Amino acid sequence: MSASQIQDFRSSRALVLFTICTAMFTDGFIYGIVAPCIPFILQDQKLVTEGKLQLSTSLLIAAFSIADFFGAPLCAWYVDRNSSRRVPWWIGIILITAGSILFGFSTNLAMLICSRILQGLSSSILYTVGLAVLVDIIGKDEVGQWMGTAMSCNNIGIIISPLLGGIVYDRAGKSAVFGIMIGLGAFDIALRLLMKEPPRGLSSPAHDAHSEKDDVLPPYSVEEARPDSGVGALSASKSVVVETTEVTHKDRSQRPTTQSTSRRLPGIIALLRSPRLLAALYGVFINECIVAALCAILPLFVHSTFQWTALPVGLLFLTIAIPALAGPLAGAISDRFGARWVAVSGFLLTAPSLLLLRLVDHESLNQKILLCGLLTLAGSTIIFFLSPLGAECSFIAEEQSKISDCDMYASSFSLMNCSLAAAGLLGPLAAGGLQDAFGWKAATIALGVLCASGAVPCMLVTGTKSSKIAEIGAPNDV
C-alpha cells in the first residue's frame, strides 16, 4: 500500500467510525421504535381479532430476533471468505430499507412479519460487518474503547426508540413512524456513499501485532522495485522474498495438524471451542437479557403501581440510556487494565441494584426516587461488562485467526450478535412470564441472580491485559 493510500485511509478514519456508530444506532433504533406500535397497528388496522392480539404481537417481536439469530452466521461465513465487505454492507442497507418500506405500506399481518424478518436479517449483517470493519481501522489499544462506543450506540437506540415510537404513533400515526425509519435509512446510505472501505487488517489488532515484524521487510515486492534501484537491489528483494517464503512454509509444516483441522472446521465451530469466547458470549447475553427484560416488564409495573402513562414510562428509560453514554470510558479502562476484573466488577456491582428493585412495591415519592436511583445505578455499572467482553471477542478472533490462517473477526462478532438476538427473544419472555406468575419481586431477583452468575466464568477464563499482550506479541518472538 502506498503512502498516499495510507494517508487517505487515516484522514477518513473519523468518517468510517461515525458511519459504523450511526449504523449501530439505526439498527437498535429501528428494532425498538416498532415495538410499542405493533399492538396498536394490529388493532387500528383490524389485522387480527382481539383474541389473537397478544400472540400476533409476540410473533412480530420474535420474527426480528429469529431472523437476526440465523442471519449472523451466514453473514460471517461470507465475510470471512471474501476480501471486500462492501457487498454485505450494501445488502444490509437494502434489506433494512426494504423492511421499512414494507412496514410503511403493510395492509396485513404477513406483510408486517416479512418487514420484521427483513429488518432482522439486516441487523445481523450490519452488526457483524460493522464491528468487523471497526476492528480493521483501530489499534489493539483502542478496541475496548471503540467497541464500547459502538455497542453503546446500539443500546441507546434500543432504549430511547420505544419512547419516541410510542409518542409519535400516538400523535401522528403509523406514517410518521415510517418517515423516521426511512429518514434514518437515508442518512445511513448517504454516509456509506461518502465512506471509503478501509483496507482489511491495516490497523486491526492482528496487523498491529505484526507491524514491527513487517517493518523489517522491504516495502517493495519483486514487481515493484524502486525506480532507482539496480539489479543488485532486485536480487536482494528476491532473496528476501524467497527466504520469507521458506520460513513461512517451515513454520506451517511444524503445525500441520492444527492448520488442517482448523481449515476443515467452519470458523464459528472452531471459535466455539474457546472457553474465553463462551464466557464473553454469556456475558453479552446477560447484558442484553437485562436490558430487554426491563424494557418488557418496567412499563407494566410502573403503570400498575404508579399509574404512569406512556410519557413518564418512556422518560424512565433515560435513567438507563444516559449512563450508557459512558460505554467508551468503560472500554478505555478495559484497554488499560484488562477485561477480566473490569467485567467481573461490572457483574458484581450491577447485581445488587437489580436485586434491590424488589423493594419498590407501592406508590409514594420515596419509592419513585428509589426506583429511578436503582435504575440509574444499574445503567452506570452494566456498561463495565458489555464493552470489555465485546473487545474480548475481537482478541479471541485474532488468536484464532493466527491458528487457522483465516480472518475470524466476522465469525466472532456474528456469534456475539446471535447471543444478543437470543437474549432479545428469551429475556422479555422469561421476565414477563415470571412477573405474570410470581410478581415483580420474583422477576427482579431472577435478573439479579442471572447478572451475578456472569462473574464466575469471567473470573475463571476471561483474559487479562498481560495475557492479551503476551498472545498478541507471541508471533513476533518467533
Instruction: Name the most confidently modeled range: 3-12, 257-266, 318-327.
Output: 318-327
Q: How confident is the model at residue 459 (pLDDT cuts 50, 70, 90)?
A: very high
Q: What is the pLDDT of residue 313?
A: 75
Q: What is the pLDDT of residue 83?
A: 66
pTM, two decimal places: 0.71
Instruction: Indicate the fold that domain 3-201+269-473 takes in CATH.
Output: Growth Hormone; Chain: A; (1.20.1250)
Distance CA 130, CA 203 (A): 15
Q: How confident is the model at residue 440 (pLDDT cuts 50, 70, 90)?
A: very high
Q: What is the pLDDT of residue 460?
A: 92
Q: How confident is the model at residue 199 (pLDDT cuts 50, 70, 90)?
A: low
Instruction: Answer for the pair 208, 25: CB distance below 8 angstroms, yes or no.
Output: no
Q: What is the pLDDT of residue 444?
A: 95
- Span 333-390, pLDDT tens digits: 888 888 899 999 999 999 999 999 999 999 999 999 999 999 999 999 998 988 788 8
Residues 6+ apart with CB under 8 A from 229: none
Residues 6+ apart with CB under 8 A from 257: none
The count of C-alpha atoms lying within 13 angstroms of the C-alpha of 240, restricted to the half-sphere facing its C-beta, is 15
Per-residue pLDDT at 187 exceeds 80: yes
Domain boundaries, the chain: 3-201+269-473
- Span 206-227, pLDDT tens digits: 444 444 444 333 333 333 333 4
Distance CA 230, CA 407 (A): 37
Per-residue pLDDT at 167 exceeds 70: yes
Per-residue pLDDT at 323 exceeds 50: yes
- Measured from the Cβ of residue 387, the count of other Cβ atoms closer than 10 Å reads 34
Residue 237 is placed in which grid cell?
528483494
